[in-house]
Structure 1
Amino acid sequence: MSTTVERNGQSLVDELRNWMGLVANPSIRIEEFVDGDRRVVRADIPGVDPTKDIELSVDGNVLRLRGERRAEEHDLHHTEIRYGSFERVVSMPPGTTAEDVAAEYVDGVLTVTMPMRAPVASSTIPITHRELPAE
């Protein structure tokens, strides 16, 4: 018979793996897809207050989603819900800025959208030619 020791709904082995950065199963799951001319990133994050518990930031060409799902205190209980801090990092399409990103939280799902942009193509610059006046 084996016993799994848990703290805040997470096994101590999983907690140690998270602490060491060896996360086999991320604490939140996302999906990414393209819808028309927009790239969409959706994350299931039920049980959080998006204004207090979620932070969304842009750092260069990376979208960073951080947050925390806070555990409720109960006497003697069983839970399979993961509580604690989470973070996901997603690369953004080239040329996307923070101003291009929109986010909405509805019914436990965070939906982040941004425009799909093609990499900036090189272009030639025309050179004008002007004759100097004769002396």
Structure 2
Amino acid sequence: MTGMLEWRPSMLPDLFDWIDSGLGGFPAHRSAPGLHGIRIEEQLTEDAYTLCAELPGIDPDKDVEISVTGDVLTLRAERTAESAQKRHTEFRYGAYARAVRLPSGARRDGATAVYKDGILTVTVPLASAEKGSSRTIPVQRDPS
């Protein structure tokens, strides 16, 4: 039958890769050309900012770099993977990056990172706001 689309199990990941890369003139979020975005979830509590990044198939000891510059947390990862089946071999590789702005009061020096089951969790403690530490700022008149 010509004209029929044959469904293969490997089409679904290809479809998601195509959607992730941007649609017809609408580029996907990327930190820099040639880099793929990292899917993340963020959580903010009174005590900490937590970021969970989806990074399956990497070696966190050598494939991940986490840095903080000013109030921006940057994740960089590089993945090389090969899957082989009886009649099909597929390579998946690439550089990934994501940058997020840290909330006010983030204590970079206390940040921690844990990698488990393909998820990288970065926790940055927040400086506790002291109650009653508000300050009134007087308004001065312009002398001219």
TM range (shorter): 0.5 to 0.7
Q: With the length of structure 1 as denominator, give the TM-score of the two structures.
A: 0.63
Q: CA RMSD of the aligned region, Å?
A: 3.9
Name which one, 1 or 2, has greater alpha-carbon Rg. Answer: 1
Q: CA deviation at 1:119?
A: 8.0
Counterpart of 2:38 in 1: which secondary structure? coil
What is the letter of the counterpart of residue 41 of structure 1? L
Q: CA deviation at 1:38?
A: 1.3
- The gaps in structure 1 that reach 5 residues or longer are 3-8, 125-135
Instruction: Decide which of 62, 67, 82 is 1:57's aligned counterpart.
Output: 67
Contact 2:29 2:37 in 1 (8 A): no
Contact 1:94 1:119 in 2 (8 A): no
- State the alpha-carbon separation in 1 of the partners of residues 93 and 51 from structure 2: 22
- What residue is the counterpart of 2:88 in the other structure? 77
- Post-superposition Cα deviations, 1:19-68, rounded to whole Å, max 9, x if no partner, equal xxx32585421000124511110011110000110100001000000011
Q: CA deviation at 1:69?
A: 1.2
CA distance 1:30–1:50, shift in 2 (3 Å): same
Q: Map residues 1-135 of structure 1 onto 2, 5 A cutoff.
A: 22-23=27-28, 27-72=37-82, 74=84, 77=88, 83-117=93-127, 123=135
Q: CA deviation at 1:112?
A: 0.5
Q: Percent of counterpart pairs with the same letter? A: 40
- What residue is the counterpart of 1:132 in the other structure? none
Pick which of 86-95 and 23-32 moved more. Answer: 23-32
- The gaps in structure 2 that reach 5 residues or longer are 6-12, 31-35, 137-144
Q: With the length of structure 2 as denominator, give the TM-score of the two structures.
A: 0.59
Counterpart of 1:96 in 2: which secondary structure? coil
- State the alpha-carbon separation in 2 of the partners of residues 92 and 86 from structure 1: 19
- What residue is the counterpart of 2:141 in the other structure? none
- State the alpha-carbon separation in 1 of the partners of residues 58 and 100 from structure 2: 21
Aligned pair count reads 116
Contact 1:64 1:87 in 2 (8 A): yes
- State the alpha-carbon separation in 2 of the partners of residues 78 and 35 from structure 1: 44
